[in-house]
């Protein structure tokens, strides 16, 4: 950094001292000049990052008092409904943090709310990336890192949720135990390995604690580091707009504008989480009581980001268990693991599958408006509906009570939604996208309908169309979309099976594509309007 001649001597001397020892100016120059385009949807990932910082800070505080041990003790604290009850040390210390450590309950609640917000922010950030096509070349690897972050976030959440050894989280662990045991052949061994013997044992809390405070956070921090490094390397994507090209980024530099805004944004998120933690109860473990394998409470659900897997379990019919040589194979439970594998596996391979189908190997730094990629958008909506059907099914019992429905009927409703919802969502979304594209095309070529009817000298009535301004027209016309590419023969002149499959998918994806407006069409439309409009302020239909 060139030393500012007007800087106070002390500042100049300090920066010189630092520069001579660290060479930091190169990094400051690189990061300080990184450009961030301004759009609200580009700030969602930051919310996850800031929630994570709050998680690390509050979590560190909690470790100072939490005892990750399952030794039995009797609760002697101030919460009367548990006085004298036999509890584990982990549960007793969580109650101690909640009721006796100054600010402890607030920190517990901010930690939990931040975890829920972290996962929510990750999710909508991932959706934003998906629906704008920001995962395309060169960002595929960073997309996979992001998928890893979601998986690690779920792992962090689940291991943390289970630590207080309360009744609710114990029921959750029981489901994990069941899931592990349902894996054919090795299931029982895996469960005994995890729990150190028969469930629940006396080891699980300390094991989860190591995972929760060391292994998973280390992986999260590493993945976040890689994720942000890629953001710098790839530069930020931007929306289509006048002056936005594949080779530039239009926005604000990190220093000073974006850094100042980002700093303020962090404190807003921190403030929001503080308000939530101060005002709203979360995970009142004093209500749930200590874990005991026999009781299960009505309305037992996992935290929201695990809910979809719980819902999937609730939707599975109960007859898919059979015996092979006397050994039970329980497909009543096991498919929940497959559903997770399908969702995460699908997310990992998606960028490569789409590139293979479209044959598009170019770099993309300009985002797609979701309507301009109708099949992708429709598939995304279908997956959201699929996910939400499972998600809602996890709270089917509460929905049944609140809406005076039968619990049994709710299961049938969600099973139907699970299969039919995505198909309807796909069709409706695709039609809406194509409709919007046609509307865009119409507006780009002929302008807005003004509602003013005028009579021409020869008696004809026409509606005056208001032209678009140049910036707006750019937004509607400056994009490219892939088109259907039929199967191509390879070098030996043969059409392989894979190529045929690609062509079939390409047809499915792009056959009803709406052509972007070409320059020739635009010129032609303008010429026609100019002749008939006779220089009036608006443009007329031809």
Partner 1 sequence: MALLVLLLMGLMLTGGAYALFTTSSTAKAEEYSASDIDGGKKLFVSNCATCHGAGAQGTPNGPSLIGVGASAVDFQVGTGRMPLQASGPQAPVKKAQFSDDQIKQLSAYVASLGPGPSIPDSEYLDASKGDAAAGGGLFRTNCAMCHNVVGAGGALTRGKYAPNLQQVSEKHLYEAMQTGPQNMPIFNDANLTPEQKRDVISYVRTVSETPSPGGFKLGALGPVAEGLFVWFFGLAAVIGITVWLTARSK
Interacting residues with partner 1 between 93 and 112 (CB under 8 A): 98-99, 105, 109, 112
The answer to whether residue 403 forms part of the interface with partner 1 (CB under 8 A) is no
The smaller minimum CB distance to partner 1, of residues 361 and 404, is found at 404
- Identify the three-state secondary structure at position 103: coil
Figure out which of the listed residues 9, 243, 299, 493 binds partner 1, where binding follows CB under 8 A: 299
The answer to whether residue 260 forms part of the interface with partner 1 (CB under 8 A) is no
Piece of the chain touching partner 1 by CB under 8 A; list 117-125, 199-207, 226-234, 431-439: 117-125
Polymer length of the chain: 542
Piece of the chain touching partner 1 by CB under 8 A; list 13-21, 267-275, 342-350, 418-426: 267-275
The smaller minimum CB distance to partner 1, of residues 230 and 239, is found at 239
Figure out which of the listed residues 24, 268, 341, 349 binds partner 1, where binding follows CB under 8 A: 268
Phi-psi region of 153 (alpha: psi -120 to 50; beta: other; left: phi over 0): alpha
Report long-range pairs for 510-514 (Cβ below 8 Å, ≥24 apart).
510/358, 510/375, 510/481, 510/482, 510/483, 510/484, 510/485, 511/484, 512/374, 512/430, 512/434, 513/374, 513/481, 513/482, 513/483, 513/484, 514/374, 514/434, 514/437, 514/438, 514/441
The smaller minimum CB distance to partner 1, of residues 265 and 484, is found at 265
Interacting residues with partner 1 between 139 and 198 (CB under 8 A): 167-168
Contact status, residue 41 vs residue 60, Cβ threshold 8 Å:
no
Q: How far is the CB of 494 from partner 1 (least distance, A)?
A: 52
Residues 370-399: x where in contact with partner 1 by CB under 8 A, - otherwise, as a string: ------------------------xxxxx-
User: How large is the C-alpha radius of gyration of the chain?
Assistant: 29
Q: How far is the CB of 151 from partner 1 (least distance, A)?
A: 19
Figure out which of the listed residues 55, 82, 134, 514 binds partner 1, where binding follows CB under 8 A: 82
Of the candidates 388, 298, 301, the residue with the CA atom closest to the CA atom of residue 343? 388
Residues 329, 326: Cα–Cα separation, whole Å: 9
Q: How far is the CB of 117 from partner 1 (least distance, A)?
A: 5
Q: How far is the CB of 119 from partner 1 (least distance, A)?
A: 9
Of the candidates 206, 214, 171, the residue with the CA atom closest to the CA atom of residue 71? 206
Of the candidates 161, 173, 233, 184, the residue with the CA atom closest to the CA atom of residue 334? 184
Figure out which of the listed residues 2, 9, 243, 294 binds partner 1, where binding follows CB under 8 A: 294
Interacting residues with partner 1 between 35 and 54 (CB under 8 A): 38-44, 47
Interacting residues with partner 1 between 352 and 371 (CB under 8 A): none
Figure out which of the listed residues 52, 131, 199, 288 binds partner 1, where binding follows CB under 8 A: 288
Interacting residues with partner 1 between 447 and 486 (CB under 8 A): none
Residues 61-80: x where in contact with partner 1 by CB under 8 A, - otherwise, as a string: -------------------x
Give, to the nearest 10 degrees, the angle between helix 140-162 and helix 104-132.
Answer: 150
Per-residue 3-state assignment (H helix, E strand, C coil) for 406-447: CHHHHHHHHHHHHHHHHHHHHHHHHHHHHHHHHHHHHHHHHC
Figure out which of the listed residues 256, 263, 278, 489 binds partner 1, where binding follows CB under 8 A: 278
Size of the site for partner 1 (CB under 8 A): 72
The answer to whether residue 224 forms part of the interface with partner 1 (CB under 8 A) is no
Figure out which of the listed residues 22, 63, 188, 408 binds partner 1, where binding follows CB under 8 A: 408
Residues 366, 63: Cα–Cα separation, whole Å: 44
Q: How far is the CB of 339 from partner 1 (least distance, A)?
A: 19
Q: How far is the CB of 19 from partner 1 (least distance, A)?
A: 31
**What residues have CB less than 8 Å from 338, skipping those under 6 apart?**
none
Look up residue 14 and give its DSSP letter: H
Question: CA distances (Å), 184 to each of 205, 341, 480, in order?
Answer: 26, 16, 49
Q: How far is the CB of 408 from partner 1 (least distance, A)?
A: 5
Piece of the chain touching partner 1 by CB under 8 A; list 33-41, 63-71, 432-440, 495-503: 33-41
Residue 103 CB coordination number (10 Å): 10
């Amino acid at each position: 950094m060139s030393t500012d001649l007007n800087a106070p001597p002390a500042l100049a001397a300090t920066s010189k001292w630092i520069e001579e020892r660290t060479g930091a100016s190169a990094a400051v120059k690189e990061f300080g000049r990184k450009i961030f385009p301004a759009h609200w949807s580009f700030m969602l990932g930051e919310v996850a990052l800031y929630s994570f910082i709050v998680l690390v800070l509050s979590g560190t505080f909690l470790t100072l008092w939490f005892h990750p041990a399952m030794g039995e003790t009797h609760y002697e604290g101030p919460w009367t409904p548990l006085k004298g009850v036999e509890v584990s040390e982990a549960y007793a210390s969580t109650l101690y943090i909640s009721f006796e450590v100054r600010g402890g309950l607030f920190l517990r609640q901010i930690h939990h709310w931040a975890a829920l917000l972290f996962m929510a922010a990750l999710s909508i950030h991932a959706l934003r990336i998906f629906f704008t096509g920001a995962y395309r070349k060169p960002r595929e690897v960073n997309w996979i890192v992001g998928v890893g972050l979601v998986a690690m976030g779920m792992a962090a959440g689940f291991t943390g949720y289970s630590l207080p050894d309360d009744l609710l989280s114990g029921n959750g662990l029981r489901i994990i135990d069941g899931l592990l045991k349902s894996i054919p052949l090795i299931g029982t061994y895996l469960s005994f390995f995890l729990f150190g013997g028969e469930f629940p044992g006396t080891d699980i809390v300390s094991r989860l604690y190591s995972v929760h405070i060391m292994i998973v956070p280390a992986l999260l921090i590493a993945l976040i580091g890689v994720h942000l490094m890629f953001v710098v390397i790839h530069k930020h994507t931007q929306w289509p707009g006048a002056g936005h090209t594949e080779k530039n980024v239009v926005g604000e530099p990190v220093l000073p504008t974006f850094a100042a805004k980002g700093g303020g944004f962090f404190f807003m998120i921190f403030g929001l989480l503080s308000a939530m933690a101060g005002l709203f109860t979360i995970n009142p473990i004093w209500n749930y009581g200590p874990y005991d394998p026999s009781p299960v409470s009505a309305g037992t659900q996992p935290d929201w980001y695990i809910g979809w897997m719980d819902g999937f379990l609730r939707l599975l019919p109960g007859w898919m268990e059979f015996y092979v040589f006397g050994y039970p194979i329980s497909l009543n439970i096991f498919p929940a693991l497959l559903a997770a594998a399908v969702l995460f596996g699908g997310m990992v391979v998606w960028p490569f599958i789409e590139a293979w189908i479209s044959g598009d190997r170019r770099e993309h730094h300009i985002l797609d408006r979701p309507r301009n990629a109708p099949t992708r958008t429709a598939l995304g909506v279908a997956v959201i509906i699929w996910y939400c059907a499972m998600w809602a099914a996890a709270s089917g019992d509460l929905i049944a009570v609140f809406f005076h429905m039968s619990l049994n009927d709710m299961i049938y409703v969600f099973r139907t939604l699970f299969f039919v919802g995505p198909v309807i969502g796909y069709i409706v979304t695709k039609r809406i996208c194509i409709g919007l594209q046609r509307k865009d095309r119409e507006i780009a070529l002929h302008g807005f309908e003004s509602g003013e009817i005028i009579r021409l000298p020869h008696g004809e009535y026409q509606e005056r169309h208001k032209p678009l301004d140049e910036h707006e027209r750019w937004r509607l016309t400056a994009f490219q979309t892939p088109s259907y590419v039929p199967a191509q023969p390879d070098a030996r002149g043969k059409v392989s099976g894979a190529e045929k499959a690609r062509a079939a998918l390409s047809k499915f994806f792009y056959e009803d594509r709406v052509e972007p407006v070409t320059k020739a069409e635009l010129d032609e439309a303008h010429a026609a309007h100019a002749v008939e409009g006779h220089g009036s302020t608006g443009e007329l239909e031809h």
